[in-house]
Amino acid sequence: MTASKHQRSDRVGVYICYCGGNISDHVDVEKVRADVEKIPGVAVARTNMFMCSDPGQELIIEDLRQGRIDRVVVASCAPSLHETTFRGAITRAGANPYIYEHANIREHVSWVLHGDRATAKAEKLVAAAVGKARLLEPLQPIRVEARRHVTVIGGGIAGLKAARVLADRGLEVVLIEKSPFLGGHVARLDRVAPHGEKAADLVAELARSVLEDEAITVLTRSQLVGFDGYVGNYDLRVRAVSDGDGEGQGTYVPFRGVSGGTPPELTIETGAIIMATGFRSYRPRRGEYGHGDHAEVVTLPEFIRRFSMAESADGTLVLDGRIIRSIAMIHCVGSRQIPGIHEEDAEGRLNEYCSRVCCSAVLHAACRIRERFPGTRVHDLYRDIRTYGRDQEELYQRASGAGVVFYRFSPEEPPRVTAAQEGAAGQDFPLRVTVRDGLTFGEEVEMGVDLVVLATGMEAAQVGDLVAMMKLPVGSDRFLQEVHPKLAPVESSVAGVFLAGTAQAPMTIGEACNGAAAAAVKAASLLGRGYLELDPFVAEVDPDLCQGTGDCVRACLAEGALEMVEENGHARARVVAARCLGCGACVAVCPTGAIDLKGWSLKQYEAMVDMIVADLAEST
Amino acid sequence: MTLVTPDFVEELQQYGDDTVLRCFNCGTCVAICPLINDSFPRRLIRYIQIGARDRILAGGRDLWQCLHCGLCSRTCPRQADPAEVILSLKRLVLAAWREEDTKNV
Ligand SMILES: Cc1cc2nc3c(=O)[nH]c(=O)nc-3n(C[C@H](O)[C@H](O)[C@H](O)COP(=O)(O)OP(=O)(O)OC[C@H]3O[C@@H](n4cnc5c(N)ncnc54)[C@H](O)[C@@H]3O)c2cc1C
Ligand code: SF4
Ligand code: SF4
Ligand code: SF4
Ligand code: SF4
């Protein structure tokens, strides 16, 4: 620490914004300017209608270039909106962007206070900012080496796509898949909506190109068991998924064979992680639409699998040797659940979201049944038809054209699936579906069927272990959550961890691939230069003051951010800047004041408090 | 309670075009039809879709209210051609009445 550290600047420039009336309607901006101008250390104080506009920024740039100021305070909206704008302006003027302090006089003042109180509070906040700004030091962003290596977790279509794009961008990739197979749920589909490609072709083509690529290492039957490090430098531990028995090599496991043994744990040094862990299909409760009570009630994934082995009897569908003359398909099973109407699961949760793919998947299946087996009737029971994407609405139309009959039910009164009564008229079917049909003017209608297909939706994959280990945020729907649904749609709040595909929300194959490609490109651009620049607002130890008590290490919230090292035979605390959160917990406990935060030092706080309690008129 | 009999749509094919299942029950035809009459003509189309033959025959006379202005067919977003369906139904109803008369003679 140099002596200059606590020298105060006396060339602070203050720029106060009208925000087009947003601020100036309640704060007397010109009075603030006149009073602030008199504060010691303030060299210039200016106002502008919109400080963020080009002419506004130009004021700052010009004063810096002319050497009139060497510290900048802008009083305007919340720093989340424009802090980077003004730091950018300072950089363009050729100065260090960290000589900047922000006073929020919109959200904190003009939107909540009026009249003299607003003006008085604005003056206090600006004065405090000036107090701090006088003590600001130029800082350099923390530069950390970054490994040009990404680990993708999950080998479904999203994980495969992410790996493919990353390798194309020249990065090394490890793909970790817990099952023995690549392809995820898509590998369990037949032809896929809306265009009818073979799922097998999509998966096989992509998986082959991934397996053949030397830049991609594929680890199947593997799971992540350890996560350490920080953005650009994560250390992962991966272990083989045991078959449950944990048998050592050479052990004979009855009815399974001789265990090949579990390969040792391995460590992966990587720079970023893409979570592509996918979804889990909803499993109906016993008795939900007769599931579990009647063998003829199956879920859509089960049906798709059986239908791929369909046979025909004179144009009528035959499944597993049984002639299927009539099928009812029920939408929204396990999705769009409503509190008070639907039953909660064992953990007291409901799936209130729409699963988004089931409408198209069920209609696609309905079309294929009718087009290949005109002797088989299809009854489609929906709440709403949500065929929302390109070429999906056409599926709805195509299903109508193919003779599918639709019924609309309300969630309060869902269809009932019961065993047909012996000998009742028109009831030579094993099951009977009864529904109060909105399309038939709210009347009850009933149909005899050989099979009921439940369009079961998507649930979040069970990745609680990873969520806990990596501290990933999860939405109320239990899917992994992005930072911002629009502006940061594939970023998680953990730096260097990205989201791809249905790990994040229900998506079609195309959407999952979009998300995966976006996540891959984000990761590639993060690591592409081989180093990262992080904000410099981290703890700093003064080795002359440090007594080596280690209090700070115990108080630290970020694992590995502080460590004790030997320096000239003495124990001293050292900060690992890339891991430090800048929270200040260490500063509060250090008995000698040896540790401080760059850009938010105790002295700077004291200066702010001094300015808040000072009588402005007096100090001038 | 109505039991769905999907075969009826095929029976009707002998009386006219097979457009009925294209209808997705939006109700545009009801809104545009100058006859302000209890869901006319969608009600009939829906009865055909679920095969409620008896109800169509029971209300057979109502079919003759239709002016054949064609507004419904022109505005139907699914080209279900309701006006043409009414004509098919008239043929069906006439055939049924004829059968009945012959029986009664
Ligand atoms: C019945 C049904 C029909 C569908 N039909 C269509 C359709 O016609 N058209 C369409 O576009 N979409 C359809 N979809 C959606 C499609 O299945 C998904 O969009 C797609 O599977 C998403 O791929 P994904 O990679 O995100 O997830 P997944 O396919 O779920 O893959 C995730 C992978 O991650 C692995 N994994 C999970 N956890 C871990 C872990 N902890 N460690 C390592 N690996 C892990 C899993 O084993 C799996 O291989 C349908 C979905 C269903 C349920
Ligand atoms: S996509 Fe359709 S079937 Fe699936 S939850 Fe949404 S509305 Fe229901
Ligand atoms: S500022 Fe917070 S995260 Fe950084 S070293 Fe101190 S306690 Fe740890
Ligand atoms: S053709 Fe008949 S049913 Fe159609 S709008 Fe005219 S009157 Fe109504
Ligand atoms: S306008 Fe066409 S699609 Fe709509 S209800 Fe009438 S017939 Fe059906």
Write the DSSP string, A58-113: HHHHHHHHTTS-SEEEEEES-HHHHHHHHHHHHHHTTS-TTSEEEEE-IIIIITT-
Give the DSSP H/E element, type plus range, for residue A133. Answer: helix A115-133
The structure tokens 């290596």 sit at A149
Give tens-digit pLDDT for B48-80: 999 999 999 998 999 999 999 999 999 999 999
Q: Identify whether residues A481 and A516 lie together within a single domain.
A: yes
E-only strand ranges, A350-401: 377-382
- What residue type is assigned to position A163 of the chain? A
The answer to whether position A163 is within a domain reads yes
Q: Which domain holds residue A159?
A: 149-278+461-531
CA distance A594 to A602: 11
Q: Which of B23, B101, B65 is nearest to A440 (CA)?
A: B23
- In DSSP terms, A572 is beta-bridged to A565
Report the separation in Å between the CA atom of B5 and the middle of ligand 3, taken as the mean of its atom positions. 73
A187 with A324, same domain: the answer is: no
> Which 8-state DSSP code applies to residue A145?
E
> What pLDDT shows up at residue A618?
54
Are A491 and A543 in a shared domain? Answer: no
The reply to whether ligand 3 has any atom less than 6 angstroms from the CB of A17 is: no
Q: Do B78 and A406 touch (CB under 8 A)?
A: no
How far apart are alpha carbons A290 and A303 in whole angstroms? 15
Q: DSSP letters of A40-64?
A: TTEEEEEEES-TTSHHHHHHHHHHH
Tokens of A168: 């194309």
Which pLDDT value is given to residue A567? 87
Tens of pLDDT, residue by residue over B17-34, are 889 999 999 999 999 999
Percent of chain B with pLDDT over 70: 99
Q: Tokens standing for A190?
A: 């037949």
Could you tell me the distance, in angstroms and rounded to a whole number, from the CA of residue A398 to the centre of ligand 4? 26
Query: How many CB atoms within 10 Å of residue A507?
Result: 24
Ligand nearest to the CA of A505: 1
In terms of domains, do A343 and A227 share one? no
Rg (CA), chain A: 32
**Which residue among A142, A541, A583, A602 has the greatest number of ligand 3 atoms within 8 angstroms of its CB, and so is best to mutate?**
A583
Q: What is the pLDDT of residue A620?
A: 46
Ligand 5 atom closest to residue B30's alpha carbon, by position in its atom list: 6
Give per-residue pLDDT as tens, A416-467.
Answer: 999 987 666 556 899 999 999 999 999 999 999 999 999 999 999 999 999 9
Q: Which of B6, B39, B78 sits opposite A441 (nearest CB)?
A: B39
Distance in Å, CA A356 to ligand 2 centroid: 5
Do A128 and A608 contact (CB within 8 A), yes or no? yes
Within 10 A of A52 (CB to CB), how many other CB atoms are there?
Answer: 17
The answer to whether B2 contacts A445, with C-beta atoms less than 8 Å apart, is yes
- C-alpha distances out from residue A501 to A215, A278, A389, Å: 22, 6, 16
Residue pair A138/A4 in contact by the 8 Å Cβ criterion: no
Give chain B positions within 8 Å (CB) of A434. Answer: 1
A160 contacts: CB under 8 Å, gap ≥ 6 = A175, A182, A183, A203, A206, A207, A210, A516
Query: Given a cut of 80, is residue A251 above it in pLDDT?
Result: no
User: CA A584, CA A432: separation in Å to the nearest integer?
Assistant: 67
Tell me: the pLDDT tens digits for A297-330? 999 999 999 999 999 999 999 999 999 999 999 9
- What letter would DSSP give residue A503? G
Please spell the DSSP secondary structure of B58-73, one letter per residue.
HTGGGGGG-----HHH
Domain check: are A99 and A67 in the same one?
A: yes
**Does the pLDDT at position A247 exceed 90?**
no
Radius of gyration, CA atoms only, chain B? 13
Examine residue A465 and state whether it is found in any structural domain, yes or no: yes
At residue A605, the pLDDT reads 96
pLDDT grade for A5, boundaries at 50, 70 and 90 = low
Bridge partner list, A36: none
Ligand 3 site, residue A562, Cβ cutoff 6 A? yes
| Closest ligand 1 atom to Cα of A191 | 8
Centroid of ligand 3 to alpha carbon of A225 (angstroms) = 26
pLDDT at A229 over 80: yes
The pLDDT, as a whole number, for residue A51 is 97
Q: Are strands A297-299 and A279-281 parallel, antiparallel or unpaired?
A: unpaired
Residue A579 CA to residue A556 CA, distance in Å, equals 11
What total number of domains does chain A contain? 4
Average pLDDT over residues A183-204: 97
- Ligand 1 pocket (Cβ < 6 Å) reads A 153-159, 176-179, 184-186, 189, 192-193, 223, 276-279, 281, 300-301, 304, 357, 361, 364, 458, 461, 463, 466, 501-502, 507-510, 512
Q: Does residue A609 lie within any of the structural domains?
A: no
Q: How many residues does chain B have?
A: 105
DSSP conformational letter for A265: P
**pLDDT at res. A163:** 98
Phi, psi of A529 (to 5 degrees): -80, -10
CA B3 to centroid of ligand 4, rounded, Å: 28
Pair (A133, A48) in one structural domain: yes
> Residues A30-71: pLDDT tens digits?
999 999 999 999 999 999 999 999 999 999 999 999 999 999
The nearest alpha carbon in chain A to B44 belongs to A440
In sequence order, the β-bridge partners of residue A334 are: none
User: Is A291 in the same domain as A421?
Assistant: yes
Predicted TM-score (pTM) of the model is 0.86
Which of A458, A492, A520 is at the close of a domain?
Answer: A458
Q: Do B4 and A404 touch (CB under 8 A)?
A: no
pLDDT of residue A355: 98
Ligand 1 centroid to Cα of residue A492, in Å, is 20
What gap in Å lies between CA A272 and CA A251, rounded to an integer? 38
Measured between alpha carbons, how far is A73 from A33 in angstroms, rounded to an integer?
Answer: 12
Q: Which CATH number fits domain B8-104: 1.10.287.110, 3.40.50.300, 1.10.1060.10, 3.10.350.10?
A: 1.10.1060.10
Rounded to the nearest 10°, the torsion over CA A119, A125, A126, A132 is 170
pLDDT digits (tens, 9 = 90+) for A329-351: 999 999 999 999 999 988 899 99
pLDDT at residue A189, as a whole number: 97
Q: How confident is the model at residue A611 (pLDDT cuts 50, 70, 90)?
A: very high
Query: Can you read off the two tokens belonging to residue A192?
Result: 């896929």
| CA-wise closest residue to A42 among A75, A64, A13, A15 | A13
Location of structure tokens 């720079």: A271
- Given CB atoms, is B78 within the 8 Å cutoff of chain A? yes
pLDDT digits (tens, 9 = 90+) for A551-581: 999 999 988 899 999 988 899 999 999 889 9
Preferred mutation among B1, B3, B44 to probe A, highest tally of A CBs within 10 A: B3
Number of the ligand closest to the Cα of B84: 4
Same domain, yes or no: A230 and A186: yes
In A, minimum Cα distance to B46 occurs at A440
Indicate whether A604 belongs to any domain. Answer: no
Q: Hey, whose CA ends up nearest to atom 4 of ligand 4?
A: B72
Pair B71, B91: CB distance under 8 Å: no
A147-163 tens-digit pLDDT: 999 999 999 999 999 99
The overall average pLDDT reported for chain A is: 94
CA–centroid distance, residue A475 to ligand 1 (Å): 19
pLDDT of residue A254: 80
Q: How far apart are CA A490 and CA A488, in angstroms?
A: 6
A6: pLDDT strictly greater than 70: no
Atom of ligand 4 nearest to the CA of B68: 1
Same domain, A41 and A170: no
Q: Which of B2, B4, B23, B24 to mutate to test the interface with A (most CBs of A within 10 A)?
A: B4
Q: Is residue A617 part of a domain?
A: no
B105 touches chain A (CB under 8 A): no
State whether A294 and A421 are in the same domain. Answer: yes
Last residue of a domain, one of A417, A438, A458: A458
| B79: contact with A, CB 8 A cutoff | no
DSSP assignment, residue A431?
E
Structure tokens at A8: 């105060």
Closest chain B residue to A446 measured between Cα atoms? B3
The string of pLDDT tens digits covering residues A370-416 is 999 999 999 999 999 999 999 999 999 999 999 999 999 999 999 99
Q: Is residue A606 part of a domain?
A: no
> What does chain A come to in residues?
620
Any domain includes A48: yes
What b/e string do you get for B3-37 counting C-beta neighbours within 10 Å, with b at 16 or more?
bbbbebbeebeebbeebbbbbbbeebbbeebeeee
**Cα separation values, B77 from A382, B27, B72, B80, Å:** 20, 10, 10, 8
Predicted confidence band of residue B100 (pLDDT cuts 50, 70, 90): confident
Q: Which residues of A touch B3 (CB under 8 A)?
A: 425-426, 445-448
Q: What residue segments make up the domains of chain B, in order of their start? A: 8-104
Measured from the Cα of B70, ligand 4's closest atom is 1
- Helix %, strand %, coil % of chain A (to 5): 30, 30, 40
Percent of chain A residues past pLDDT 70, beyond the cut: 95
Record: contact B4-A403, CB cut-off 8 A? no
Mutational test site, ligand 5, from B37, B76, B87, max ligand atoms within 8 Å of CB: B76
Residue A80 predicted with pLDDT over 60: yes
Question: Has residue A143 got a pLDDT over 60?
Answer: yes
CB count, 10 Å around CB of A616? 16
**Long-range Cβ pairs for the range B31-37 (8 Å, 24+):** B32/B71, B32/B72, B32/B75, B33/B71, B33/B72, B34/B67, B34/B69, B34/B71, B35/B65, B35/B66, B35/B67, B37/B62, B37/B65
Residue A346: CATH number of its domain: 3.50.50.60
Judgement on whether residues A47 and A116 belong to the same structural domain of the protein: yes
Residue A355 Cβ contacting ligand 2 at under 6 Å: yes
Residue A3 has pLDDT above 70, yes or no: no
CATH, residue A551:
3.30.70.20
Q: Which residue of A has its CA nearest to B45?
A: A440
Confidence at residue A2, expressed as pLDDT on a 0 to 100 scale: 41
A106 within a domain of the structure (yes/no)? yes
Exposure b/e, A391-412, CB count within 10 A at least 16 = b:
ebbebbbbbbbbbbbbbbbeee
- What is the predicted pLDDT for the residue at A44? 97
All residues at 6 or more sequence positions from A85 whose CB lies less than 8 Å from its CB, including other chains: A52, A57
Euclidean distance between CA atoms A490 and A493, whole angstroms: 10
Instruction: At A225, give phi and psi (nearest 5°).
Output: -125, -10
Beta strands in A385-461 (DSSP E): 405-408, 416-419, 431-437, 443-449, 451-456, 458-460
Q: Which domain-ending residue is among A435, A458, A481?
A: A458
Residues of chain A numbered 397-416 and touching chain B (CB < 8 Å): 397, 400-401, 403-406, 408
Reported as a pLDDT band with limits 50, 70 and 90, residue A1 is very low
Q: Average pLDDT of A81-90?
A: 95
Distance from CA of B3 to the nearest CA of A (A): 5
**Cβ pairs bridging A and B (under 8 Å):** 56
What CA–CA distances, in Å, run from B51 to A1, A132, A447, A568, B2? 89, 81, 11, 94, 9
Q: Are A582 and A539 in contact (CB under 8 A)?
A: yes
In the block, residue with structure tokens 């003590």? A135
Does pLDDT of A264 surpass 80?
no
Predicted complex: ipTM over 0.85: yes
* Phi, psi torsion values for A224, nearest 5 degrees: -80, 130
pLDDT digits (tens, 9 = 90+) for A120-135: 999 999 999 999 999 9
- List CB contacts (< 8 A) between A405 and chain B: 4, 6, 21, 49-50
Nearest CA to ligand 5 atom 2: B76
Tokens of B57: 């025959």
Statement to judge: residues A230 and A340 lie in one domain:
no
User: Are A210 and A175 a contacting pair, CB within 8 Å?
Assistant: yes
pLDDT band at A136 (very low <50, low <70, confident <90, very high): very high
